[in-house]
Amino acid sequence: MPDEKSTTEQEVRCTRRETFVKLGLGTLGVAGAGAAVFGYEFLSPNVLYEPSPITNAGKPDRYPQGSVTADPKTGIYVVHGPEGFYALSAVCTHLGCLTSWLPEQNQIACPCHGSKFNAEGVKIEGPAPRPLAWLRVWISDEGDLMVDRSTTVPARQFLRT
């Protein structure tokens, strides 16, 4: 009879020991997995992927002579003036609001503080400190009008087709 009792106590002790070992291993596993996740996050590059600054504005014949075409999605104006094509940034040089073309006034106007610009981006009135930026334009191999929003060019640099 005493042999039977000691065997049962030994089994209980073994079971308890195994439970603690399993608990310890489980805790180490969770801690290791957490460290691996944070390590991966720490080592992976923190990069912000932005859309390309180059815009395909389509075929030049889409823009009739004398037209000012706004593209609010890309924040540019494509202008087909008497001397050729050019592109202006639609971002106001005061505090960065998006301007809009007012055809009845033949002006570009900023809704924020009232700056106004002519079709070549020259400031007419308002607090804007500089004219609207002229952007690089070119014709692609496929014959499309391309605009690079990240590259400014001197004013009155027309693209003649």
State the residues that interact with ligand FES by CB under 6 A.
Answer: 92, 94-95, 97, 110, 112-115, 126-128
Minimum distance from residue 89 beta carbon to ligand FES (Å): 12
Spatial contact of 68 and 103, defined as CB atoms under 8 Å apart: yes
- The residue among 78 and 128 lying less far from ligand FES, judged by its C-beta, is 128
Minimum distance from residue 108 beta carbon to ligand FES (Å): 10
- The residue among 81 and 127 lying less far from ligand FES, judged by its C-beta, is 127
- The residue among 128 and 137 lying less far from ligand FES, judged by its C-beta, is 128
Minimum distance from residue 102 beta carbon to ligand FES (Å): 14
Buried b (16+ CB within 10 A) or exposed e, 38-65: eeeeeeeeeeeeeeeeebebeebeebee
CA–CA gap between residue 107 and residue 118 (Å, rounded): 5
Minimum distance from residue 105 beta carbon to ligand FES (Å): 16
- The residue among 88 and 110 lying less far from ligand FES, judged by its C-beta, is 110
Phi/psi of residue 158, each to 5°?
A: -85, 150
Sign of CA dihedral 16, 19, 21, 23: negative
